[in-house]
Amino acid sequence: MTMTPEDSHPGRSGEGADAALLARLLRYQDILTDFSRLAGDAKDLAGLRHLTCLQAARGTGIGHAKLMRYRPAIGDLLIEAGVGWKPGVVGSVTLGADVASLSGRTLMTRLPTVVDDLPNDPEFRYSPILRDHGIVSALNVPVTVAGTVWGVLEVDSETPRHFSDADVKFLTSMANILGMAVQHRLAEARSEDAAARMLRETEQQRTLMRELVHRDKNDFQMIMALLLMQKRKQRDAEAIRGFAHVMDRVSAISMAHDQLAMRPDQPTIDVAAYLQALCGNLEHRSEHVRIRPALVSAELSHERAVSLGLITNELVTNAIKHAFPDGKGTVRVEFTTDPAVGEGCLTVADDGVGMGPPRPGSSGMQLTNGLARQIGGTIERIPSERGTTFQLRFLMVK
């Protein structure tokens, strides 16, 4: 194994450095042995999640660790367990599931994410929870259950730290053990209501991924990883922004597949559930911009729902970027239907400073207009006393 700077110690070289690396690897081996035994004996999933964070923090010698579960119905990552965090964080705080989120990057690419200097890394948002705790360096890995990314395990350091390959492999092994234990516990807990609900969600995702969406989801993760790799090679600011826009759109399409995965017996998507998850994800794009959805349930085919989701993604993202120079405001997303005429109506309105006429050749407006035509609709800007309002009307054909 190649030794990294983290595996060495100031003042040590040669045999001393080798001894330090060997001691670390032996410590990791001992912890993983203990953890696998404890995970196999654990009966309580909540206790197992807390134990995972304790062992992760113990192994890496870091005071902060957390376990986040992906909630596809909402489009976020909920901190379900953790150590070292202030009261009110565990069980309440959520993080974004997009690639600009530290944990979202791992969720979307299914790859470990390592950041040495988070406050100054332009690839990621510095989330309020991490900033509040002074987190500088972080490492997170995916937790998979039944072949699906169930959540993310992360360790966070208040002091600068370079995580080595040994650290990544250690935390990945812990996540794998946890994933297998969760799957086993869920299978044993079929008769318990709370565990049964979790089991149904996992089994629904697993069934549909296997029968309809599994390969597509893997393809989305591969696409995101490839786009990220190419984005990092760019030096032109416009090209970097272009890649970021494409990744946002791929994320919106991927969320539609998540909605399909949760309803394996239905060939259609509930627009309200899809847009709710999309809005939940978009709200993490800005710390002080709130997204307020008001959505009526309606069924649409996958293709038409994706078009509606991409239009919503474009309009909300544009408002977040341009409507609020001071970084604060609200974006309202409404979806209603008129059964009498068989029409659906999407409204996206912000209370910001307003915008001038769309730039000729704007790729965002070209995309939204093209998508509107695909579903037999029209999109127009509606006069408003404050901010900017766009409205899309289209025929409600499943």
Mark whether 26 and 141 lie in a shared domain.
Answer: yes
Same domain, 112 and 242: yes
Co-location of 230 and 344 in the same domain: no
Give the integer Cα–Cα distance in Å for 282 and 125. Answer: 13
Q: Report the CATH number at residue 158.
A: 3.30.450.40
Domain check: are 252 and 279 in the same one?
no
Nearest to 291 by CA among 324, 320, 250, 258: 320
For the cut 90, the answer to whether the pLDDT of residue 88 exceeds it is: yes
287 and 249: one domain? Answer: no
Whether residues 202 and 284 share a domain: the answer is: no
Range of the domain at 313: 267-398
Claim to verify: residue 181 and residue 104 sit in the same structural domain? yes
Per-residue pLDDT reduced to its tens digit, 13-40: 556 667 877 888 888 999 999 888 888 7
User: How confident is the model over 217-248, as pLDDT tens digits?
Assistant: 666 677 778 888 888 888 888 888 788 778 87
Q: Which has the closest alpha carbon to 289: 320, 312, 316?
A: 320
Pairing mode of beta strands 64-71, 389-395: unpaired
pLDDT at residue 371 greater than cutoff 60: yes
Residue-level pLDDT at 360 = 54
pLDDT tens digits along 42-86: 777 888 899 999 999 999 999 999 999 999 999 999 999 999 999
Asked if residue 216 belongs to a domain, the reply is: yes
| DSSP code per residue over 221-289 | HHHHHHHHHHHHH---HHHHHHHHHHHHHHHHHHHHHHHHHH-TT-SEEEHHHHHHHHHHHHGGGSSSE
pLDDT in tens, 135-172: 999 999 999 988 889 999 999 999 999 999 999 999 99
Q: Do 143 and 286 belong together in one domain?
A: no
Q: Number of structural domains, the chain?
A: 2
Are 210 and 307 in a shared domain? no
Find the farthest-apart pair of alpha carbons in the chain and give their distance in angstroms, rounded: 81
Return the top range by mean pLDDT from 119-123, 208-212, 383-387: 119-123
Given a cut of 60, is residue 215 above it in pLDDT? no
Query: 82 with 223, same domain?
Result: yes
Q: Please give the Cα distance from 111 to 175 (Å, whole number).
A: 12
CA angle 50, 53, 55 (to 5 degrees): 110
| Single residue among 215, 232, 265 that ends a domain in this structure | 265
Chosen domain end from 265, 293, 315 = 265
